[in-house]
Structure 1
């Protein structure tokens, strides 16, 4: 088994989407002062590698705490817009994918989609209750069009529109 980390490291002053709050990670307690360490996180629900709930772009749709946990993991593949898509699995794209792919994706009925998605495509996928993952890294380390198991579990945030995740791919060797 091989595990590929698909998550960005969260740190102060990391890049954020224009207009989103800046990320701040500060040390609150130290071993010297309290005999343990504790950090305070200031970040948005869409910081770094994250998952988007349907409610992120559609007010009347489900938030993170309303989406069944099993929707956030499963079989997946890295694919392109030039090959037929396998049905009912997670799909990840290394290159940017636009709204022109929507009909093809809806026919494949993916459990989730991630990678470099345009905002219009992301909005359309969420409207069709397809979970989206954003700001994944290391997708190029995964074999193209080869099945692996993906996990991208969100924090259980009440009425959560999104959440940072620790996203991983598990490849059987």
Structure 2
């Protein structure tokens, strides 16, 4: 079996969505004092490579521990959209040819290679998906969508005002689906029809979870 890790390392001070809790860690027990090591970890539910459960944007929606795990391990389609600039909008016309035959239950991952900017200010100026893409995928029976950016919708900057607009989140999570964010290394999946595993922690009643996303060639 061939594996490609699609996850960013979780480490103190890593980049997070603006306003989210920072990632930090400290030793709670050490070998010199206790004879063993335990680390205290502080992070938000949407740190690093993670998934959004419907509860993230849908009041009363299913939390992460109620997700059907069988939907998070399965055939994946990687949609490559190269040569994008800051805040570019990916429209259905750009990806239609790569998705015309996508089947129900497929996990669709969008490769923009924007993950190369992770940890820099430019990462916040990522491309976004037009809501029509989410709507078309839902019509095809797709319920899990992933991106190698911070957000399939626009991430606010210092000039943003008013309520946050999240049309892709509204469509996918509103339909009971799942969004995986902050993927990386999608360029290393060089074979057709990979199988993806992106399993969350069993966090009771919470809105999301870090995942160890792995592409497999079986």
Task: Indicate whether the TM-score tops 0.5.
Answer: yes
Rounded Cα–Cα distance in structure 2 between residues aligned with 1:148 and 1:13: 32
How many correspondences in the alignment? 171
Root mean square deviation, CA, Å: 1.6
Q: Distance in 1 between matches of 2:188 and 2:58?
A: 33
Match of 1:151 among 168, 189, 197: 197
Which runs of structure 1 show a deviation greater than 3 angstroms over 4 or more consecutive aligned residues? none
Specify whether residues 85 and 43 from structure 1 end up closer, same or farther in structure 2 by C-alpha distance, changes over 3 A only: farther
Deviation track 1:146-168 (CA, whole Å, cap 9, x = no partner) reads 21111111111111100011111
Q: Is the 8 A contact 2:103 2:141 kept in 1?
A: yes
Query: 1:55 deviation in Å?
Result: 0.8
Name whichever structure is richer in strand by fraction.
Answer: 1
Structure 2 contact 143–172 (Cα < 8 Å) conserved: no
Q: Which moved more, 1:96-105 or 1:85-94?
A: 96-105
The residue number in structure 1 matching 2:140 is 108
The answer for the alignment partner of 1:72 in structure 2 is 72
Q: Is the 2:199–2:212 contact (alpha carbons within 8 Å) kept by the matching residues of 1? A: yes
| Cα distance between partner residues in 2 of 1:85 and 1:164 | 30
Answer with 73-82 or 36-45: which moved more: 73-82
Taking the aligned partners of 2:101 and 2:207, their CA distance within structure 1 comes to 28
1:24 matched residue in structure 2: 24
TM-score by length of 2: 0.74
Task: List alignment gaps of at least 5 residues for structure 2.
Answer: 81-94, 113-127, 154-165
SS at match of 2:201: coil
Identify the residue that residue 90 of structure 1 maps to in structure 2.
107
Q: Which runs of 5+ in 1 are unaligned?
A: none
Cross-structure match for 2:116:
none
CA distance in 1, matches of 2:189, 2:50: 19
Partner of 2:58: 58
Task: Report Cα offsets for 1:91-142 as digits up to 9, x if no partner.
Answer: 0001342213123212221141101412421231111112110001111211
Moved more, 70-79 or 35-44: 70-79
Instruction: Report the 3-state secondary structure (helix = DSSP H, G, I; strand = E; otherwise coil) of the residue aligned with 1:82.
Output: helix
**What is the DSSP-based 3-state SS (H/G/I as helix, E as strand, rest coil) of the residue aligned with 1:3?**
strand
